Amino acid sequence: DTGVSQNPRHKITKRGQNVTFRCDPISEHNRLYWYRQTLGQGPEFLTYFQNEAQLEKSRLLSDRFSAERPKGSFSTLEIQRTEQGDSAMYLCASSLESRDRYGYTFGSGTRLTVV
């Protein structure tokens, strides 16, 4: 298993454009999380899936943000009409329901820069 994979690693986009990020979790993990992290801050929760169901969304997730996990495997996070304030590292993590003590495995993240 190669761990949690995120693509692309970096994305530079112009303000107003749409962007989509992909996360491939560890294959047997049924839970998937999206976080956003800015410099000097801890990760902020965005949304969470259990299998294909999106069970929780943060108030940070405005209507410009949408996430899917169509078959309970990989997930996508789309940001429409990007703003400069969206510039951040977007982190994906996955976990297995019955193995809390092993924590959540994070991907390397997608760094978004909106210019």
Partner 1 sequence: GQNIDQPTEMTATEGAIVQINCTYQTSGFNGLFWYQQHAGEAPTFLSYNVLDGLEEKGRFSSFLSRSKGYSYLLLKELQMKDSASYLCAVRARGYIPTFGRGTSLIVHP
The DSSP code for 73 is: S
Q: 80 burial class (0-12, 13-18, 19+ CB within 10 angstroms)?
A: middle
Q: H or E element: which one contains 28?
A: none
Helix (H) or strand (E) holding 17, with range, is: none
Among 21, 24, 43, 90, binds partner 1 (CB under 8 A): 43
The H helix count followed by the E strand count for the chain is 0, 11
Q: Is the dihedral of CA 69, 95, 42, 21 positive or negative?
A: negative
In the complex, minimum distance from the CB of residue 88 to partner 1, in angstroms, rounded to a whole number: 13
Q: Judged by CB under 8 A, does residue 25 bind partner 1?
A: no
- Residue placing its CB nearer to partner 1 in the complex, 56 or 78: 56
User: Which parts of 52-111 interact with partner 1 (CB under 8 A)?
Assistant: 56, 91, 95, 100-109
CB 61 to partner 1: min, Å: 13
Closest distance between partner 1 and the C-beta of residue 3, in Å? 9
Binding site for partner 1 (CB under 8 A): 4, 31, 33, 35, 40-45, 48, 50, 56, 91, 95, 100-109
